[in-house]
């Protein structure tokens, strides 16, 4: 999927830039993944240790698979805006899962959509992915609306998290996203 010439993350968008997580990003990880409102539909808030473990998993994903939920920042002032990226769906190397976690201060600005579109383009044009999936908490109407605006179509329910709650899963094939560039 990734070669030595493949960029490490999507290019900047109009309002955002991406980079990879580093071991020095503990404070950013904690600020995002321990926030009650941000994590409400994603299994609940993490402890500080849980957020740091998630940070290590993201760094490992980049090293092992060339993908992660990359941290995103506002181009205007460098403010941390959350993360958006890819991971293997149920450890299947042929299917990538798109995700977006926005910092509370960045809600209602359509930054999640902007970041997700950049990640989708990166997945299909740079990583040569054929299929992306995305899901949302069963009661998260905002995420459902975003996934549908991005062109994903409903596929099936899938158990998620410790409690194995059924989450709607959507799919987007490269042909549906437009021609390969």
Bridge partners, 70 (sequence order): 84
Residues 6+ apart with CB under 8 A from 181: 125
Is residue 135, in this structure, part of any structural domain at all? Answer: no
Which stretches of the chain score pLDDT less than 50?
Answer: 1-3, 179-181
Nearest to 7 by CA among 174, 98, 125: 125
- Contact between 69 and 85 under an 8 Å Cβ cutoff? The reply is yes
Full-model pTM: 0.89
Is residue 85, in this structure, part of any structural domain at all? Answer: yes
Is residue 153, in this structure, part of any structural domain at all? Answer: no
Residue 73 sits in which domain range? 16-129
The pLDDT, as a whole number, for residue 110 is 92
CA distances from 141 to 45, 132, 145, 180 (A): 19, 20, 6, 31
Is residue 171, in this structure, part of any structural domain at all? Answer: no
What's the order of all strands across the beta sheet hosting 69-74? 16-18, 69-74, 80-89, 92-102, 131-135, 165-173, 153-160
Element (H, E) at 73: strand 69-74
Is residue 158, in this structure, part of any structural domain at all? Answer: no
**Domain CATH number, residue 48:** 3.40.630.30
Domain count across the chain: 1
Is residue 154, in this structure, part of any structural domain at all? Answer: no
Is residue 101, in this structure, part of any structural domain at all? Answer: yes
Residue 143, classified by CB atoms within 10 Å of its CB into exposed (0-12), middle (13-18) or buried (19+), is buried
The pLDDT, as a whole number, for residue 177 is 59
> 134-146, pLDDT tens digit by residue?
998 888 788 899 9
Is residue 111, in this structure, part of any structural domain at all? Answer: yes
The pLDDT, as a whole number, for residue 179 is 45
Which residue matches tokens 């996934």?
A: 147
Tokens of 112: 């999640």
């Amino acid at each position: 999927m990734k070669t030595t010439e493949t960029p490490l993350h999507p290019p900047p968008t109009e309002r955002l830039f991406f980079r990879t997580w580093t071991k020095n990003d503990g404070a950013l990880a904690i600020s995002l993944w321990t926030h009650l409102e941000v994590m409400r539909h994603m299994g609940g808030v993490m402890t500080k240790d849980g957020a740091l473990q998630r940070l290590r998993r993201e760094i490992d994903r980049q090293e092992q698979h060339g993908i992660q939920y990359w941290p995103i920042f506002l181009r205007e002032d460098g403010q941390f805006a959350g993360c958006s990226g890819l991971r293997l769906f149920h450890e299947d190397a042929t299917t990538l899962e798109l995700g977006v976690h926005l910092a509370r201060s960045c809600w209602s600005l359509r930054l999640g959509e902007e970041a997700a579109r950049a990640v989708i383009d990166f997945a299909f044009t740079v990583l040569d992915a054929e299929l992306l999936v995305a899901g949302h908490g069963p009661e998260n109407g905002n995420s459902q609306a975003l996934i549908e605006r991005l062109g994903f179509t409903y596929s099936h329910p899938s158990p998620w998290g410790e409690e194995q709650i059924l989450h709607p899963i959507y799919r987007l094939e490269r042909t549906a996203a437009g021609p390969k560039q």
